[in-house]
Amino acid sequence: MHRRTTETTVPRTAPSPRTSPRRRTRRAATPFGAALCAVTTLTLLGTATLPAAANAPVATARTASASTQTSTQSPAAAPIVTRDDHPRSEALRAALVGLPDDEATAAVVLAGGRDGRFEGSAGVRDIRSGWAALADGRIRAGSVTKVVNASVVLQLAAENRLSLDSTVQELLPGLLTDDFTQPVTVRNLLNHTSGIQAGAGLNGPWEEQYAHRFDRLPVAEVVRTAVAKGPAFAPGEQQQYLNINYTLLALIVEKVTGHPFEAEATRRVLRPLGMRASYFPGDEVGIRGAHNRGYQLVDGVRVDVTRWRMTDRWAAGDLVSSPADLERLLVGVFTGKAVPRSQLEEMFTVPDIDGATMSAGLERFDLGDGKVVWGKSGARPGYNAGIAATRNLSRTVVYGVTGTTAKESGGPVAARFGIPAFG
């Protein structure tokens, strides 16, 4: 079984690809939040990058192989709407018109609630064939993975196998350096108030990301480089959205249960909620089964980025899912099926910190006029996903989009495909 490279200060390090069914110095918001609040998009694992190999080619839209490049001049496919009795159907249908375009090549939107339902898709499965987009093809869910992660941790808390007031120092002894003089709790990790800084990540300029898209980045290296920086602020003083918090949560899950994080997440969340299309890819670079291909728009050219190794995101953002499965996750969380009600309030509690919006796994959005929505968005190269709902599920929305600017600033995908459901 494949294991992540181990470090002496880090507990076991490597998810198996076979475990799936298989000083608020820069407060960052998710793309969904950016569309609502006009703030910067989320900071993922950090800005640190791995150095390019000396002989690695710099791959751009001009140097990538011809099979990965397509012009943006593709005929638009008419939306396919299979359910259309939602009060916001007109706006949701309008969002799908014109795909593929410069924002996305395909989109699937599922909106529900008490007043009706909308199910629609548009765009193409892949640019070369022009076949209609798959309404339930698999996608990369990005940071929506954190909802699954938080659910597992809260289940363990409900079982008294850990406390949200337990500390990283207690649960993962020796991991944090002496610079961390104050205890960092599980709750601090859940709501991004830990003060732990971002570790190494496969980020940086597009050319560098693309050149290293198949690289493996061990979790141990991500953690080591994060901890080495020392704390950015005292735990609980500020909120800074970073993947490292959920990387450490996954290590805690493994320490407490003795099982790989992927196995626990699958057993505790994916299977009980019927998320049969969802899995953790581990070391795999492709997407299993039927899926819409993802593209990144570079200098007016669509570059196929479907195949990409996600080891640097792991339990913070590597889940592969489908729109229908993400809707099952949304409903399962909000109704207490994924998280026992004794712990569910943590997912709807934002710390009392100026500017904070993140809770345990979710984010709070104030739409005005007293309307509040809770949700989570995610983005990986070529893919965007989002789930959101009012607390009482009177309105819900899930979108799965092959967004061509998935990692750029702003929230155009959420603004276009998610927010109209709540207008």
Torsional sign, CA 295, 205, 212, 282 = negative
Asked if residue 26 belongs to a domain, the reply is: no
Q: What is residue 132's three-state secondary structure?
A: strand
E-strand spans in 36-114? 69-71, 80-84, 104-113
Asked if residue 10 belongs to a domain, the reply is: no
Asked if residue 273 belongs to a domain, the reply is: yes
**Closest alpha carbon to 401 in 382, 375, 415:** 382
Residues in the chain: 423
Output the DSSP codes for 230-291.
--SS-TTS-----THHHHHHHHHHHHHHSS-HHHHHIIIIITTTT-TT-B--TT--S--SSB
Helix axes 323-334, 145-158, angle to 10 degrees: 30
Compute the distance between CA of residue 184 and CA of residue 152 in angstroms, rounded to an integer. Answer: 19
Torsional sign, CA 338, 191, 348, 313 = negative
Q: What's 282's domain CATH number?
A: 3.40.710.10
Domain count, the chain: 1
Q: Which residue has the tokens 């949560």?
A: 249
DSSP-assigned letter for residue 335: T
**Closest alpha carbon to 219 in 422, 16, 1:** 16
Measured between alpha carbons, how far is residue 337 from residues 11, 74, 113 in Å? 30, 43, 18
Alpha helices, DSSP H, located in 124-201: 145-158, 168-171, 186-190
Containing 208, the helix (H) or strand (E) segment is helix 206-211
Asked if residue 3 belongs to a domain, the reply is: no
- Does residue 133 contact residue 123 with C-beta atoms inside 8 Å? yes
Asked if residue 74 belongs to a domain, the reply is: yes
Asked if residue 16 belongs to a domain, the reply is: no
Q: Which residue has the tokens 């989320």?
A: 42
DSSP-assigned letter for residue 15: -
Structural domain span for residue 365: 31-422
CB-based contacts of 90, cutoff 8 Å, min separation 6? none
CB-based contacts of 217, cutoff 8 Å, min separation 6? 50, 200, 201, 202, 311, 312
Asked if residue 14 belongs to a domain, the reply is: no
pLDDT (tens, 9 = 90+) of the chain, 423 residues, equals: 433 433 333 333 333 333 333 333 333 444 555 554 433 333 222 323 323 332 233 233 334 443 456 655 566 778 999 999 999 999 999 999 999 999 999 999 999 999 999 999 999 999 999 999 999 999 999 999 999 999 999 999 999 999 999 999 999 999 999 999 999 999 999 999 999 999 998 878 888 889 999 999 999 999 999 999 999 999 999 999 999 999 999 999 999 999 999 999 999 999 999 999 999 999 999 999 999 999 999 988 999 999 999 988 899 999 999 999 999 999 999 999 999 999 999 999 999 999 999 999 999 999 888 899 999 999 999 999 999 999 999 999 999 999 998 765 447 898 899 999 998
Asked if residue 78 belongs to a domain, the reply is: yes
Compute the distance between CA of residue 79 and CA of residue 120 in angstroms, rounded to an integer. Answer: 7
